[in-house]
Structure 1
Amino acid sequence: MEEQKVVQRNLALQREWYGEPLGDRVRRLVVAFDVSQANLAEVLGISAPMLSQVMSGRRAKIGNPAVLARMIMLERKVLTPEVVSGEREALHGVLEEVRQSRPTVGRDSVPVGSSPDDAVVLTVLKEAIEEDGDLDKAARLLDDDFPALADLVRRAGEDF
């Protein structure tokens, strides 16, 4: 019974930290890229047992930020034409590209998610700049140097 409580707590933490349980995110990647969980673990740079523990909730987080960055890279590629096509060569190429990547993780390289805190930030931005056109102008000014912030400002201009 104690293990079940730990798993539930870890899954709740994953929802808080990653937006949803990591098992859901990983399963989508396994299906999209038509690979085994062990193969996906190798691409991400994590051991298969560790990935299994994270997916099942026996562990709460991915400790290596580069592994999380690779997972996000794959998630961003899911709707690209080469992945949507389902062609084995194309899927293998994308997986190999991500496997060989050496991502660095910083403020501007990990996307801002859609958490409850984001709604607060988006509301404050929207209220601070009254005309939606001003938000778009501000986002264009930020694009080159602060792309993640530019994206957040653009999202403030949308109905969320």
Structure 2
Amino acid sequence: MGELSAPIPSPTGSRTNSTRPPLRDPSAPGAVESADGSRTLDLLHDGGGGWTANGEPLPDLDGALDCDLGLCPLTNTMPVLRHGLHRGPGEREFLMAWVSVPDLAVRPSRQTYTHLRPGRVRFASGDFRSDLEFDEEGFVVDYPQLATRLTAR
């Protein structure tokens, strides 16, 4: 597939149902190197719900708070942590700026996260469904068929 580089989102803001601040990704530049060449993406969020990709406005994403980087379970953490869905009951639907890999195309994605029990949240988008396991801090531990967090020895 190639190699992808992107920053890890950092916490900002103050609205949350948990003891940790919500996560936002105001700027997510990334690059992909593959046999087909290299591609870059400069994905920017203006803090008010507006997005641009490589300087071009993305009006279909107006109101989205987060990006969801394809094949990256870390980006599922942001909406779950913001609303404490890894700890307590609830179901929330989000509009996400979904970035497909390796082409780095950005598309709107409606995603639903449903608390199943502490540490277990169902992720759904379109016909896709997966039950994700989170740790107490709200980070993905297991995303079936995609990734499992390795623990320190």
TM-score range, shorter chain: 0.3 to 0.5
Q: Which has the larger radius of gyration?
A: 1
Greater relative contact order (Cα < 8 A, sep 6+): 1
Structure with bigger strand share is 2
TM-score by length of 1: 0.32
Q: Which has the higher helix share?
A: 1
TM-score, scaled to structure 2: 0.33
